[in-house]
């Protein structure tokens, strides 16, 4: 008789860990290509890729708990706008970032793609100017 691995269970609990470089603004980028929830009108599944960008303050979100949190929406009915804002609110509550942007790119339904973008900025936080390292064309040091 073979033993099956224990089942992983979806959860609304987001775990955190201490930001290892709290003195610096740095960009954390995550792509979550398998988000699923249900259409509240039809009960049919809606699929999206979530793109999470944030600048942590004192804590970061732990990836396994984020995966289980995202999985928890798969049997719940939500409008695209509602679920995107709810996820952002829950993440902001959990980690209190300096900045966070969540982009939800929902797959086509009825011939329409929907993208929802929502942001949070910590009061008083100002983004540092972007350093553009692509300002020089390839071979810019050659004469001709």
pLDDT given at position 8: 78
32 burial via Cβ count (<10 Å: 0-12, 13-18, 19+): middle
**pLDDT above 60 (res 143):** no
**Whole-number Å distance between alpha carbons of 82 and 11:** 19
pLDDT given at position 36: 97
Q: 45: which 2 tokens?
A: 């599944």
pTM of the model: 0.86
pLDDT tens for 22-57 read: 999 999 999 999 999 999 999 999 999 999 999 999
**pLDDT above 70 (res 94):** yes
104: which strand partners? Answer: 50, 116
Residues ≥6 apart with Cβ < 8 Å to 64: 15
Straight-line distance from the first to the last Cα atom of the chain, in angstroms, rounded to the nearest whole number = 75
39: which strand partners? Answer: none
Closest CA to 69 of 47, 96, 88: 88
Q: 144: which 2 tokens?
A: 């001709």
142 or 39: whose pLDDT is higher?
39
Lowest mean pLDDT among 11-15, 32-36, 122-126, 128-132: 128-132
Write out the catalytic residue numbers: 39, 46
When pLDDT is averaged across residues 110-114 and rounded to a whole number, the result is 90
pLDDT given at position 21: 97
Q: 52: which 2 tokens?
A: 């999470």
């Amino acid at each position: 008789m073979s033993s099956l691995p224990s089942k992983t269970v979806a959860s609304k609990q987001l775990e955190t860990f201490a930001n290892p470089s709290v003195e610096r603004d740095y960009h954390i980028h995550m792509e979550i290509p398998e988000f699923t929830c249900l259409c509240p009108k039809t009960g049919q599944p809606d699929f999206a890729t979530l793109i999470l960008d944030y600048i942590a303050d004192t804590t970061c979100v732990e990836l396994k708990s984020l995966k289980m949190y995202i999985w928890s929406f798969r049997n719940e009915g939500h409008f695209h706008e509602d679920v995107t804002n709810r996820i952002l609110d829950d993440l902001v509550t959990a980690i209190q970032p300096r900045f966070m942007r969540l982009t939800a790119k929902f797959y086509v339904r009825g011939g329409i793609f929907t993208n929802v973008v929502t942001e949070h900025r910590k009061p008083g936080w100002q983004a540092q100017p972007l350093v553009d390292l692509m300002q020089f064309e390839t071979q810019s040091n050659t004469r001709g």
